[in-house]
Chain A
Amino acid sequence: MNVMDTRATSAMLYLDGVHVSFDGFHAINNLSLALEPGEMRAIIGPNGAGKTTMMDIITGKTKPDEGTVLFDGVTDLTRLDETRIAELGIGRKFQKPTVFESQTVQDNLLLALNVDHSVRGTLFWRESRAETERIQKVLETIRLTDARNRLAGSLSHGQKQWLEIGMLLAQDPKLLLVDEPVAGMTDVETHQTAELLKEINKDHTIMVVEHDMTFVRELGVKVTCLHEGTVLAEGSIDQVSSNERVVEVYLGR
């Protein structure tokens, strides 16, 4: 790992001049962005704006061609792989809900718990009261207590989204990256999710990518609009949604 001598920035997450291209297509173009500790940030933008690719870069799935990605002001994420980044405390929820479908809800959470992840540790692992209680608490938060022994694959779409958020909670990361958490949810569920995220935001820094403007509005946080891999506008939801360019490329007139 690569730790710099002094904190270069106070930001929890700091992207500077990031570029990445696939076969000549510039997916991310000179992207710069900073997330303060404890902040929740909503990212919006049209399809292909580079939202998911940005998350891939932060979590180590994609290596940028150039640019800096600093976590907690000291760690250069571009040098690390997914596992190391997850260990540092960055959790991610995927666009398409990704849970372990052939395992129970409870096991999904158990796997997500931020404990010893070594081969030895898992082989000789035994249940502890503390862990059971953590799981119990998360289950309550995501309202799946009754479904704890069901296979994750048998959950509804919305429940899976929640389970995945629950897994993030169990992981207890410093920074949560949440990709389209309300896609396919009913209005009520969307509202509940917004409440949940706000609740989580009390102890965690969060970055949310979302298309649902009602949801973004409900979160009531700073918004960044991406377009063609670069930041188009940044500010409160009202400022951004009144921005000429944003309206032109994304929201539509």
Chain B
Amino acid sequence: MITQLTHDIARLSRRGWLAAAAGLVLGLASSPFSPAKAADDTIKVGVLHSLSGTMAISETTLKDTILFLIDEQNKKGGVLGKKLEAVVVDPASNWPLFAEKARELITKDKVAVVFGCWTSVSRKSVLPVFKELNNILFYPVQYEGEESERNVFYTGAAPNQQAIPAVDYLMKDEKVKRWVLAGTDYVYPRTTNKILEAYLKSKGVKQEDIMINYTPFGHSDWQTIVADIKKFGSAGKKTAVVSTINGDANVPFYKELGNQGIKATDIPVVAFSVGEEELAGIDTKPLVGHLAAWNYFESIKTPANEKFIKDWQAYTKNPKRVTNDPMEAYYIGFNMWVKAVEKVKSTDPDKVIDALPGIEAPNLTGGVSKMLPNHHITKPVFIGEIKGNGQFDVVWKTPGLVAGDAWSKELEGSRDLIGDWVGKKCGNWNTKTNKCGGQGS
């Protein structure tokens, strides 16, 4: 069979070669990027989220969120008298494709701002593009920190806005003495656990009371690890699990926890990547009492939140559609961008970037968040316990808003660094040497 399919190269017709080569050239030449005429009466907003592939599970909702926010804004008359127009692309969970699509959005579609990315690697992949082409990226997901870039605004939580308060809560209110740091083996859990390990040690926790465990993406067989946690937890000290396990692996993890009978009253699990959306796929009854730390929960009762949920469910025509923390991060970020644009009366990225620090926008939990010079924002931190209906019950919150640290104070390499795009115009200002450019030498 194969023999018929292939031919000796030399037997190829010469014209065939020419035609094929011509085809190659045509393929290159007739690109989709015949420079689009940017309509003058709209402001284009890029939406860079995977709609297919493995990350679609998380990112699709954020695409809908931005479309929803744009829709709401247009109902109010748009921005600067112009309607907003969303340009949606699908980077298909493929990291290099993120860079390619970002380039396309900025160069071809001439968008004024891009809302996008979920994973750290996708953000890292588009970073050089945003720097080179000087545009704005709003990034809505909690991440590992250690970054402050001029073109990026981080509206998700930095580690000090999620991990550290959660650990504080467990130490103070639950008297936890022994810690399991369980995570998926990638940068966010690695960094978060590094920070937490340093933080716990500074609080006098001994090395033997910390167990660190990493699993591959999409790990589905948790028997051994859950048994290990159980064993670790039976040393006579109150034990808790701090989970940075990535989305997909959580369902089998919690199912195994429930089945092996680890109750929240014995060994509570506090998670940083499990929100309303993830819980929608699990029967939460055996998980009641396990915790999550976020800057927003759907169950928080404020007028703004109730309106947001109602409008969102009406927009998606799905009365059961849940909301979650990254959505709120977009809500804040989007409104900040709108305010900044209206302040400088321009969508020019340079002007908007300079205008953004200091801009305040209400969050959905009753406070007002502020964009900081390091391009992170102030947020409240909530600890929620899982309820039987797949929602969270807030059991603790920080007294005020917590300012996001771009650089962790717990890590040796970044202790002296700060990001300051207002005064110092530098993302990695060293406060010891008073120089821009990291630790220097």
Contact = CB atoms under 8 A, between A and B. Distances in A.
Interface in B1-17: 3-4, 6-8
A65 to B, nearest CB: 35
Interface of B is mostly: loop
Contacts of B8: 102-103
A46 interface: no
Among B3, B4, B7, find the residue whose CB has the most chain A CB atoms closer than 10 A.
Answer: B3
Contacts of B3: 101-102, 153
Contacts of A101: 3
A244 B4 CA distance: 50
Nearest to A153: B3
Contacts of A103: 8
A99 B387 CA distance: 72
Contacts of B7: 102
Nearest to B6: A102
Contacts of A153: 3-4
Nearest to A100: B3
B12 to A, nearest CB: 14
Nearest to A103: B8
B163 to A, nearest CB: 58
A50 B247 CA distance: 61
Nearest to A107: B8
A140 B3 CA distance: 27
A101 B8 CA distance: 12
Contacts of A102: 3-4, 6-8
Interface string A170-190: 000000000000000000000
Among A101, A102, A103, find the residue whose CB has the most chain B CB atoms closer than 10 A.
Answer: A102
Interface of A is mostly: loop
A101 B3 CA distance: 7
Nearest to B5: A102
Interface string A140-162: 00000000000001000000000
Interface in B46-76: none
A140 to B, nearest CB: 25
A148 to B, nearest CB: 15
A102 B4 CA distance: 7
A153 B3 CA distance: 9
B412 to A, nearest CB: 54
Interface in B220-265: none
Nearest to B7: A102
Nearest to B2: A102
Contacts of B4: 102, 153
A153 B6 CA distance: 13
A18 to B, nearest CB: 35
B227 to A, nearest CB: 42
A139 B3 CA distance: 23
Interface string A87-126: 0000000000000011100000000000000000000000
A132 to B, nearest CB: 18
B274 to A, nearest CB: 54
A223 to B, nearest CB: 37
Nearest to A104: B8
A133 B20 CA distance: 38
A236 to B, nearest CB: 43
A101 B5 CA distance: 12
A88 B112 CA distance: 75
A101 B7 CA distance: 11
Contacts of B6: 102
Among B6, B7, B8, find the residue whose CB has the most chain A CB atoms closer than 10 A.
Answer: B8
Interface string B1-41: 00110111000000000000000000000000000000000
A156 to B, nearest CB: 17
B10 to A, nearest CB: 11
A222 B8 CA distance: 45
Interface in A4-53: none
A189 B431 CA distance: 96
A153 B7 CA distance: 13
B4 to A, nearest CB: 7
A149 to B, nearest CB: 11
B337 to A, nearest CB: 62
A102 B3 CA distance: 6
B1 to A, nearest CB: 11
9 contacts: A101-B3, A102-B3, A102-B4, A102-B6, A102-B7, A102-B8, A103-B8, A153-B3, A153-B4
Given A102-B4, A153-B4, 7 more contacts: A101-B3, A102-B3, A102-B6, A102-B7, A102-B8, A103-B8, A153-B3
Interface of B: 3-4, 6-8
Interface of A: 101-103, 153
Among all A-B residue pairs, the 6 with the closest Cβ atoms: A102-B3, A101-B3, A153-B3, A102-B6, A103-B8, A102-B4
